[in-house]
């Protein structure tokens, strides 16, 4: 059997624990160490039961573990503020870092879109759950036509939005909007998040509304459908909720101002409805917003240790 590459996780909360479960199932990666700051956390207890090296001493404790010496990639599942401290400490080790927080120290990465272009960087940022769900769709459109404006709405169950998510809502909207432009290829991007208190809890649902130059409608729909299939290879619960909707934007419509298209230029709105069901590894199935982050992070980690990256420019 081929030896699996070893990884470490910083953060023993819900996301870190779900990530550990996925790493144990990976054929490329395995977890060697987990660091937290709460010695009574369920994540550290589960890791210890699996013979994973653990510490409640945070990143400093992780650096002192013998198991850390063989680690090739570190996943940070803490918070934006904590990641700045963690990355500074990890930089001295030279280990590759996959950042699941909104800190955005390194370039944004969406594995189905730009993995090969950013793999040469030491620190990669996973954007946000909404970004992982919607940016591939924006990028698919941008591959066949000009995307003047893309707006995404991520609707998640209130139950799946923990203290970290709620504390980082401002970062969510700004980070996702920026990544819609820099990774997705839209001239302008906007992001909105909705915490839905419905009971029973709803699955994650995402809407992408893009204003694009008029083009072959079949080409747009085919590109979106193919991209959704690509993402579903590493996020099995990711799917189209409805068929792609495409409609012309008439003259005088206020949406033209959003797109920056004046006069009689042809403009089309493409609307894509997505749904993300979690794998229920550690988190409940309705927490697709958290599941897509951990599943995509594992995909990034696997590619980091197996691919030859392009030179960093």
Do the annotations mark residue 289 as ligand-binding?
A: yes
Look-up of token digits 């599942």: 77
* 129 assigned to active site: yes
Do the annotations mark residue 10 as ligand-binding?
A: no
- The continuous run of DSSP H or E covering 196 comes out as strand 189-196
129, 209, 210, 220: the active-site residue = 129
DSSP structural state of residue 276:
E
Do the annotations mark residue 14 as ligand-binding?
A: yes
Do the annotations mark residue 133 as ligand-binding?
A: no
- Could you give the angle at the alpha carbon of 54 between the alpha carbons of 91 and 76, nearest 5°? 40
The residues that bridge with 108 in the sheet, in sequence order, are 125
Phi-psi region of 294 (alpha: psi -120 to 50; beta: other; left: phi over 0): alpha
84-89 contacts at long range (C-beta below 8 A, 24 or more positions apart): 85/59, 86/10, 86/58, 86/59, 87/123, 89/59, 89/60, 89/63
Do the annotations mark residue 114 as ligand-binding?
A: no
Token output for 126: 């996973």
Token output for 151: 């707006």
Three-class SS of residue 148? strand
Do the annotations mark residue 213 as ligand-binding?
A: no
Query: Taking Cα atoms as reference points, which of 125, 110, 132, 98 lies closest to residue 237?
Result: 132
Do the annotations mark residue 161 as ligand-binding?
A: yes
Do the annotations mark residue 21 as ligand-binding?
A: no
Look-up of token digits 């290879």: 233
Distance of alpha carbon 167 from alpha carbon 78, whole angstroms: 12
Token output for 152: 């995404």
Do the annotations mark residue 12 as ligand-binding?
A: yes
Token output for 309: 């990256």
Distance of alpha carbon 15 from alpha carbon 92, whole angstroms: 25
DSSP structural state of residue 150:
E
Do the annotations mark residue 11 as ligand-binding?
A: no
Catalytic residue list: 129
Binding-site annotation, residues: 12-15, 160-168, 289
Binding-site annotation, residues for NAD(+): 12-15, 160-168, 289
């Amino acid at each position: 059997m081929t030896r699996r590459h070893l990884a470490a996780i910083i953060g023993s909360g819900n996301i870190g624990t779900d990530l550990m479960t996925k790493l144990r199932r990976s054929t490329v990666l395995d977890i060697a160490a987990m660091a937290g700051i709460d010695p009574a956390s369920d994540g550290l207890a589960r890791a210890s039961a699996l013979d994973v090296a653990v510490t409640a001493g945070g990143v400093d404790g992780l650096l002192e573990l013998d198991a850390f010496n063989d680690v090739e990639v570190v996943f940070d599942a803490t918070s934006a503020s904590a990641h700045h401290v963690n990355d500074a400490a990890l930089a001295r080790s030279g280990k590759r870092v996959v950042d699941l927080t909104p800190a955005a120290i390194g370039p944004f990465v969406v594995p189905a879109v730009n993995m090969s272009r950013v793999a040469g960087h030491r620190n990669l940022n996973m954007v946000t759950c909404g970004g992982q769900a919607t940016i591939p769709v924006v990028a698919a459109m941008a591959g066949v036509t000009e995307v003047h404006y893309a707006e995404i709405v991520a609707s998640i169950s209130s139950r799946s939005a923990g203290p970290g998510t709620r504390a980082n809502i401002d970062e969510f909207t700004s980070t996702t909007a920026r990544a819609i432009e820099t990774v997705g290829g839209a001239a302008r991007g906007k992001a909105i998040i909705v915490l839905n208190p419905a009971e029973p809890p709803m699955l994650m649902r995402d809407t992408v509304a893009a204003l694009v130059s008029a083009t072959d409608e079949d080409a747009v729909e085919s590109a979106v459908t193919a991209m959704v299939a690509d993402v579903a290879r590493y996020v099995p619960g990711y799917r189209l909720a409805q068929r792609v909707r495409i409609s012309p934007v008439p003259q005088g419509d206020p949406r033209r101002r959003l797109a920056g298209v004046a006069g009689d230029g042809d403009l089309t709105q493409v609307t894509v409805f997505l749904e993300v069901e979690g794998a229920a590894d550690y988190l409940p199935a309705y927490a697709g917003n958290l599941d897509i982050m951990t599943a995509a992070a594992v995909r990034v980690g696997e590619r980091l240790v197996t691919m030859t990256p392009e030179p960093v420019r």
